Every structure is written in structure tokens, then in C-alpha cells.
Amino acid sequence: MDTAADRQSPKQNTKVLGPALAEDFNKIADFMNDDPDRVIFRRFPRLNLYNLLFLQHRLNCINHDADMYARGGEFEKLVEVLPSLSGVLESYSR
């Protein structure tokens, strides 16, 4: 069920995670830990697809910039773009 807390930004959601919820999380974790068959997590397939599409978009932008700078002989700018590639590729490959 979609609640107002679910629609808040991640920074706002940290306010929702108070001591009572932390205690509930602890009880649930203990319960799940007692029997591995009780471990159930949502996979958020739609959000994962959004994330992959976003990462592909970022990789495409980096690829475009790298290609443009390499073809234009602008190697100083190419060197500035390449470090961003590693983190995005790592996230995409997971």
C-alpha cells in the first residue's frame, strides 16, 4: 500500500526510521534468522528496470562524450570523462 511516507524523498524517509521501527526491524530480522525459509524480500522489479534504463542512459552519454572528444583530439576533456565510466559500469554490471 502506498503511504505518504513512501512518497517522501529518501532524506525525508530517514525521519520515519525512528527507534520503534528499528526495534521492529530487529524483531523481524531475528524471526527470519531463526529459519531461512522465512526470509522474504521484495525485488522491486519496476524500480530495478528504471535503474537499468537510467544507467544505460548515463553510459550512452559518457560514450557519446568520450567518442566526441577522442575524434576531436580533445584528450584533456576525454581524461575528465573517463573516471565517471568506472562507477557507472560497475553499477550496471551488478
Per-residue pLDDT tens digits for 5-18: 445 555 555 567 78
The b/e string for 4-41 (b: 16+ C-beta within 10 A; e otherwise) is: eeeeeeeeeeeeeeeeeeeeeeeeeeeeeeeeeeeeee
What is the tens place of the pLDDT at every residue in 4-54? 544 555 555 556 778 889 999 999 999 889 988 888 888 899 999 999 999
Phi first, then psi: give them for residue 33, nearest 5 degrees.
-65, -30
Round to whole Å and give the CA distance between 89 and 63: 11
Domain boundaries, the chain: 45-93
pLDDT, mean of residues 63-86: 95
